[in-house]
Amino acid sequence: MRYNVTMKIFNKKARFEYELSHEGVEAGISLLGAEAKSVREGRVDISQAAVRVIGNEAYLINANIPAVGIQKYDATRMRKLLMHRGEILSLVTKMKQKRLQIVPIRVYNKGRLIKLYLELGKAKRKFEKKEALKRRDINRDIDKAMKGSI
């Protein structure tokens, strides 16, 4: 089976849960063989995932990547992100200065390598999420009215 097809898996909850700053960075992920196969087949869930920096190393926490054929396997284990030290340092300084979080946005492949795109974002509060839903509903109603009148 060939895996040169470009594959993208998006974190749809990220745009709803966070106000993203559009300052992104690409990181590789350290995976087991069975995990890499699962990711290439599209079986990965990063909607609950988070990125933590522990001792100058970045880790992907709580990403659900089920591996087939492995017994006693933790699908949400911590996975190391492969980034340059300077990239990690710049993300950490921006995080601390602006009180942001590192949010995983999408998983994709570049050739045979599996990459994770990260952005800085600030968590939205509950009333901000409700306002966004109201705005979306109003815009949807306006679009329906415009299509009906034309």
Residue 131 maps to a domain: no
Q: Which domain holds residue 74?
A: 8-124
Residue 16 maps to a domain: yes
Reported as a single tens digit per residue, the pLDDT across 2-42 is 555 477 888 878 777 787 888 789 999 998 888 888 888 88
CATH code: domain of residue 39: 2.40.280.10
User: Looking at the 3D structure of the chain, how many domains does it have?
Assistant: 1
Residue 43 maps to a domain: yes
Residue 46 maps to a domain: yes
Residue 139 maps to a domain: no
What confidence score (pLDDT) does residue 2 get?
A: 52
- Low-confidence spans in the chain with pLDDT less than 70: 1-5, 150
pTM: 0.79
Residue 59 maps to a domain: yes
What confidence score (pLDDT) does residue 98 get?
A: 86
Residue with tokens 């926490």: 61
What confidence score (pLDDT) does residue 150 get?
A: 65
What confidence score (pLDDT) does residue 29 get?
A: 93
Residue 144 maps to a domain: no
Residue 146 maps to a domain: no
